[in-house]
Structure 1
Amino acid sequence: MSQNLEGEFVAWASARQRSWLRSALLLTGDQSSAEDLVQDAFLKVAERWSRLRDEAPDAYARRVIYNGAMTRWRRHSREPSRAELPEVIAAPTTEDWLSGADVRAALQRLTVKQRAVLVLRYYEDRSEQEIAETLRVSAGTVKSQAHAALRRLREELALEQESLDGEEIR
Structure 2
Amino acid sequence: MRSSHQAEFADFFDLASPRLLAAAWMLTGEQAAAEDLAQEALARTYARWSSVRTGQPLAFARRVMVNLHTDTWRKRRREVLTDELPEGDAQVGPHLDPQTVDLVRALRRLAPRERECVVLRHYLDLSEKQTAEALGISVGSVKNYTMKGLRGLRAQLLEGETTHV
TM range, smaller chain: 0.7 to 0.9
Aligned 1:116-135 pairs, distance under 5 A? 116-135=116-135
1:19 is paired with a residue of what secondary structure?
helix
Q: Which amino acid aligns with 2:22?
A: R
Q: Which amino acid aligns with 1:21?
A: L
The equivalent of 2:39 in structure 1 is 39
Bigger Rg, which one: 1
Percent identity, aligned pairs only?
38
Aligned 1:1-170 pairs, distance under 5 A? 1-79=1-79, 98-165=98-165
Q: Which amino acid aligns with 1:37?
A: L
The 4+ residue runs of structure 1 with deviation greater than 4 A are 84-87
Q: Which runs of 5+ in 2 are unaligned?
A: 88-95
Compared CA separation, residues 85 and 110, structure 1 to 2 (3 A) = closer
Q: Which amino acid aligns with 2:21?
A: L
What TM-score comes out, normalization by structure 1 length? 0.84
Aligned-pair Cα RMSD in Å: 2.2
Question: How far 1:99 sits from its partner (Å)?
Answer: 3.0
| Number of residues of Structure 1 aligned to a counterpart in Structure 2 | 156
Compared CA separation, residues 85 and 102, structure 1 to 2 (3 A) = closer
Q: Which runs of 5+ in 1 are unaligned?
A: 88-95, 166-170
CA distance in 2, matches of 1:70, 1:11: 28
Question: How far 1:77 sits from its partner (Å)?
Answer: 3.2
What TM-score comes out, normalization by structure 2 length? 0.86
Q: Which amino acid aligns with 1:164?
A: H
Question: How far 1:76 sits from its partner (Å)?
Answer: 2.6
Question: How far 1:158 sits from its partner (Å)?
Answer: 1.6
